[in-house]
Amino acid sequence: DSRLYVHTANRQGFYAEIIAADPRSDLTVLTPAQPLSPEYARSLTPIRYGNNIPVKKGQFVIALGNPYAIARDGSPSASWGIISNFHRYPVPIFKHFLNQEIAKEETLHHFGTLLQVDTHL
C-alpha cells in the first residue's frame, strides 16, 4: 500500500488520493485524503497556467514527467535546466551524431509538464 504525500510551498503538506490519471500525458489529479482546515486551504497557492506566456532563451525551467513510461515503479522524473534553443536541427556530418541528437529531442518531447521557475505551468 503506497500513500501520496504532497509537499507545499509553505513547507507543510498533506496526504492525497488520486481521483484521475492519464498515463499517456503523465498527468494526475489529486485531492486531499482528509478535509483541510479553511485557514490551511486559503494558504495554498495554486500553480498559475501560462496561457501563452513565452518561454525565452536562457530561462530556467523544470520538466516533470515520465518519459516513455520508464517509471513503472512510481518514481517519475523531474529535471531542471535552461532553455538553450528552440529551432536547433542536427547537422548531418556523421550518422551516429545525428542519431544521438534525435534521441535527445524525442526524450524531451515526452515530458508531461514544463514549469517556469516563477511557478507558471
Contacts of 58 (CB under 8 A, 6+ apart): 82, 83
Consecutive 10-residue runs of the chain (121 residues): their mean pLDDT? 79 90 76 91 79 76 68 67 74 52 45 62 53
pLDDT of residue 108: 46
The residue among 105, 9, 121 whose CA lies nearest residue 61 is: 121
H or E segment and range at residue 111 = strand 111-116
* pLDDT score recorded for residue 8: 84
Helices (H), 63-115: 95-109
Q: What is the pLDDT of residue 104?
A: 46
The predicted pLDDT at position 9 comes to 78
pLDDT for position 115: 67
Domain ranges of the chain: 1-45, 46-121
